[in-house]
Structure 1
Amino acid sequence: MGARGCLLVLPDLSPWRDSRDFRTLWTAGLITTFGSFLTFVALPLQVKELTGSAAAVGALGAVELVPLIVFGLYGGALADAFDRRRLILGSEAALGAVALVLLLNTLLPQPMVWPLYAAAALSSALVGVQRPALDAILPRIVAHAQLSAAAALNSLRWQVGGVAGPALAGILIAYAGLETAYAIDLATFVLSLLMTLRLAPSPPAHDAAKPSLRGIWEGARYAWCRKDLLGTYAVDVVAMLFAFPIALFPFLADELDAPWSLGLMYAALPFGSMLVSATSGWSSRVHRHGLAVLLAAAGWGAAMTVAGVVRNVWLVLLFLVVSGACDMVSGLFRSTMWNQTVPDELRGRLAGIELLSFSAGPQLGQVRSGSVASLTSVRTSVWSGGLVCVAGVALLAAALPKLLAYDARTSEHARAVREARQGAAEAEEQA
């Protein structure tokens, strides 16, 4: 492969080279993501061990849903009204405190179940506050032309933690216990918090309004008027609602007579995503982002269908990897559409809505998969959800022609944001 071919494959590192704040957030995020994925495996496994119920594990998604909706929307309004750096720091410290509670509960002679659900709900609320601030700060610290590359690099960071965290979690829990996983998660929050202190302040616009229901409604109205953006939300919700059976992995591993594969199952999805991110140099040459989102979401559902049908554990893992790759393609171009077309004064609120689209779906998906499995079987829940996902994406493609036709080269919204950033840069130079 020549130099040009390598550039088409290797990720674009320009945001890392050009922005100190991006490097800081990326590194801190890698550290805390690694620890969070340890808990991501440990928490449902602990619920399974204490209750023995697939429905109880799936109920974690239900417990997380309401705080995510409330604080996701309100967190978006906060991100437009307050310093985004302070919101990131405060929520990171609070998430570390939740990890401490999980550790202390696990050290009890008889760990209790209710603190696990309380911790899941509180973590969901804190993510609802933090994620919009993280998303909204990105276009301020990265050049407009580098937003696709930044989205790919951020996803790569998440995926490295998502692969290493679950894989290590299975070994840690088996040989050192759940408490070790929670302790490491706590340590990663402390390290991440210390690094994030280096971020430059990111104050709101001088005329930013205080958080209010009216402000939240303004963001929702903008999203509703943008049918292309609305389509990205709808596609993601459908894909996650029907084809996100992650709550069933502990039971699927047992059914395949491969309990050793649990950590690999959790790691397979982010590993597939990582493969795409690590070869994402081609992504900046794609302009039909809506079409890419639809095709990738359909691929996600199809791969999940096969994963639910095959009975060889290695084939299951293979198609979970394929699912993760499709999810990454969809997420990459959804993120690019949002970052390139949403005005800065609405980024926080739109990030809050976006948070609901990619987080509420998985929470509901856990409830759906657990409920269907309890009524039918684990494998039926997996493959039937995948089929419904493919059908749902096809219906959305027919119902939302603006999403299908979206082209970054001709979008009036992308052009307006690009011109606004150029004007702001010129004003700073003149000042």
Structure 2
Amino acid sequence: MTSPIPWRARLAALLPDLSPWRSSADFKLLWGQGLITYFGSFMALIALPLQIKHLTGSPLAVGAMGAVELVPLIVFGLYGGALADAADRRKVILGTEAGLGLLAVILLVNALMPEPALWPLYVVAAGVAALAGLQRPALDSLIARIVPHGEQTAAAALNSLRWQIGAIAGPALAGLVVAYAGHATAYAVTVVTFAVSVLLCLRLAPAPAAHDAPKPSLSGIAQGARYAWSRPVLLGTYAIDLAAMFFAYPNAIFPFLADELDAQWSLGLMYAAGSVGSLVLGLTSGWTSRVRRHGLFVVFGAGVWGLAIAAAGWFGEVWLVLVCLAVAGAGDMLSGLGRATIWNQTVPEELRGRLAGIEVLSYSVGPQLGQVRAGAMAGWTGTRPAIWTGGVACVVSVALLAAALPKLLSYDSETDEDAARRRAQHADPSGV
């Protein structure tokens, strides 16, 4: 007779897998650096639109910040992917992190002026989007190099956990600092966090490009796009994420939902609920390291996201809405774990940066377009119908995409040819 598994062993199996921390000193450095800069970034993220609101009193002026960010993010995201393949990724990360710190200094100086100007706020917003677009592919592609092949899911879970901690605590702390100490203090905290981040990045090991890496060019970017187009598994991860965010990303109309539910007090909780759900999944993510069918993560997680968003729009009780949003956050994180694992386990090192640039677009453009869809739909059908119909459309589109791309559903990290090739490449003594 098999003895029962002790409760402590069961609990340990659920806790996050910390293997990447133990196996990679650089991953541990990047994790800590990222957590610090998340807090600083959220300070600016909250203070910047509030300062625009304070200076103009115009919702349109605040919304324009998103418009000036979109094009730099797309252009520099694609170029940043090519740059990550051609340059030392450590230098790219270090340079962009220092640049972000300098932009925070500009915000601080402007806030300390007797009459702060409006135009620098938009210039900085565009600059942050450009530098983030340059940096993110280098960061993402470096994770694929420094973390062992079999620990990519654990690394993705730990990175997502770091993000959720920042997404919950960062805005709360930033709101208090802005409310009680002012914009300048928030920007000063941002400057300090980026200074600490640069010091940590200096300790990273060099990450030079592969010997045959091409210089950044349009043809190089096109080569990465052709590779992605030729891989149904990768196409499925991009398409499902875009569909899920386009149809079921209703954050822009949460203020109207709170009004309709006569629960204005719940607005902050609505924004935080998804992060809470993701955090709960992250804290119990140990089991995900033992899964091989990561395509199922992508599809099932996106389906849960859509169903939960549909339920959030259908229910009229605010507490049920908050629970649904938390479940949606858990589904989104599960899908994200699947996407990140597939990307890092299958994309060859010489294309990793360019594919990371495409990935930046896949998970950043979708929410931007989704907010436009939600706002337009709410103006036509009302707030709650805009939310629940979007959730239903998400589920339907995910099901159709999964049926059209069966290789995504059947993906197995042990038998997939691209995963096996990348596993052998990762084990190569040259370090790539």
TM beyond 0.5: yes
Amino acid of the residue matched to residue 280 of structure 1? S
Question: Is residue 97 of structure 1 aligned with residue 114 of structure 2?
Answer: no
Structure 1 residue 29, shift from structure 2 partner = 0.4
2:74 to 69, 74, 82: 69
Work out whether residues 61 and 364 of structure 1, in 8 Å CA contact, stay in contact via their aligned partners in 2. Answer: no
Q: Does 1:40 align with 2:40?
A: no
> Is 1:18 aligned to residue 23 of structure 2?
yes
**Is 1:339–2:344 an aligned residue pair?**
yes
Structure 1 residue aligned with 2:401 = 396
Inter-partner Cα distance in structure 2 for 1:402 and 1:245: 30
- Structure 1 position 29 matched with structure 2 position 28: no
TM-score with structure 1 setting the length: 0.90
Q: Does residue 1:319 correspond to 2:324, yes or no?
A: yes
Contact 1:62–1:364 (8 Å) recurs in 2: no
Going from structure 1 to structure 2, the CA distance change for 1:353 and 1:347 (only over 3 Å counts) comes to same
Listed one character per residue, the Cα deviations across residues 45-76 of structure 1 (whole Å, up to 9, x for unaligned) are 55556666666655544332221211111100
Q: Summarize the Cα distance change of 1:105–1:297 in structure 2 as closer, same or farther, 3 Å threshold.
A: farther
**Does 2:387 align with 1:382?**
yes
The alignment status of 1:126 with 2:146, answered yes or no, reads: no
**CA contact 1:58–1:366 (8 Å) conserved in 2:** no
| Paired-residue identity, % | 63
- CA offsets 1:319-368 (integer angstroms, 9 cap, x no match): 22111111110001100001111111111001011111011111222333
Q: CA offset at residue 35 of structure 1?
A: 2.0
Match of 2:161 in 1: 156
TM-score (norm: length of structure 2): 0.90
Quote the residue 1:297 is aligned against.
302
Matches within 5 A, 1:153-302: 153-253=158-258, 256-302=261-307
Change (3 A) 1:98 1:374: farther
Deviation at 1:384, TM superposition (A): 3.1
Find the aligned partners of 1:163 and 1:26 in 2 and give their Cα distance. 17
What amino acid maps onto 2:30 in structure 1? L
Aligned residue identity for 1:170: G
**From 135, 142, 146, the counterpart of 1:141:** 146
The 5 A counterparts of 1:53-68 are 57-68=62-73
Change (3 A) 1:58 1:255: farther
Displacement after TM superposition at 1:415 (Å): 0.8
Q: Does 1:85 align with 2:90?
A: yes
2-structure distance, mates of 1:324, 1:108: 40
Partner of residue 421, structure 1: 426
Residue ranges of structure 1 left out of the alignment (5+ in a row): none
Counterpart CA distance in 1 for 2:140 and 2:203 is 18
Query: Conserved in 2, the CA contact under 8 Å of 1:268 and 1:321?
Result: yes
State how many pairs are aligned: 426
